[in-house]
Each structure stands twice: as structure tokens, then as C-alpha cells.
Amino acid sequence: MLKIFKDSDPLLRTRAKQISLPISDSDRELALAMLEHLKESQDPLFAAEHNLRPGVGLAAPQVGESKHIIVVHIPRGKTERLTYVLANPIIISSSVRRAYLRSGEGCLSVDENHPGHVYRHYKIKVKAFDILKNEEIEINTFGYPAIVLQHEIDHLHGVLFYDRINEENIVKYPDALSL
């Protein structure tokens, strides 16, 4: 279980640093601890006992490390999970089409409710170093996982989801998909 830094902390507004490769043992341990935190947060008993909010993604600045590491762990069905443990993720291409989560976005670092649509790219291609596979990879994804990846990559640049809530966007992306 890691300490989660809140959006009031300047660290959440700081541009994080790239990870030097090959990845160090301490950076790998940090990434694996972040994955473990997400797994624990999704375990109803553990989460209730430790007062954890369930999360599907985490970026290193949220746990006090200003580094380009993100972890995504998305439930798919009863037992399957979509997991990414990445260093230095970069979006190398993205669709013109936008998408947003109908219920809005949330963040483990944000306690207040920020209603409003966060318009993201519906499809993205991400280049990153996969810490679990220990190799450079490209991820082609769309829909919910693409939204989660964009949310986490934003954290590496000091951007929070509510920065992207803007009434004008509703006019800007009239054909955005609601997910």
C-alpha cells in the first residue's frame, strides 16, 4: 500500500523526468509496488479494511516520485485484467475522433467531484518501455483503455483531468463517442 499524494501537492503539477534505460532495480520496484497498490485497491476486503478507493491507473507522481512510470490495471470480466506497467510512455498517434466517459473521470489524487466531460482521443498509439516484458513496445488501443492511458500520461506532465473539462469542448467535438 502506497501513500497517494493529493492534487494540492505541487508534485502533481510538476513535469516528471524520463526514466533512464536499462531500468534500475529501484525504478522497477517502484513500478511493481504501484501495480500492487492497484490490485489491493480492487480487492473489496482489503480496500474496505484500509480505506482505499479502487483505482484502474496510477502514475509515479501520485506516489511521490516525479518519474515517467505509469501503471494500468483494468478489470475485464470477472477474473481477467488488462495490465500495463510502462516507463516513458509517449502517444505517437491519435484519432481525430474523441470519446469521453459518460460518468466523468475520477482520480485517486482528487477527492472533490468534478462533473463534466473530459474529451480524449478515442484511439491512440503509445510507444513505451514495457517494464514487465523488459522491452520497447507499441500499444494500439481504443475506448476505455485509451482514456485511462491518456489520463495517466497527463499526470507525467502535471495535468489533471479536470483541467480538460471545458464547456466549449461540447461544441468542439459534436461527434465524440460517449462511453
Q: Which residues are catalytic?
A: 152
Residue 24 vs 86, nearer CB to Co ion: 86
Q: Is 124 in the site for Co ion (CB under 5 A)?
A: no
Pick the stretch among 12-20, 42-50, 101-109, 130-138 that binds Co ion (CB under 5 A): 101-109
Question: Does residue 71 interact with Co ion by CB under 5 A?
Answer: no
Q: Cell triple for residue 85?
A: 506497467
> β-pairing, 177-178 with 98-100?
parallel
Dihedral pair phi/psi, residue 163, rounded to 5°: -60, -25
118 contributes a contact to Co ion by CB under 5 A: no
List 12, 107, 126, 149, residue binding Co ion (CB under 5 A): 107
Cβ at position 153, least distance to Co ion in Å: 10
47-64 b/e (C-beta count within 10 Å ≥ 16 → b): eeeeebeebbbbbbbbbe
Residue 69 as a binder of Co ion (CB under 5 A): the answer is no
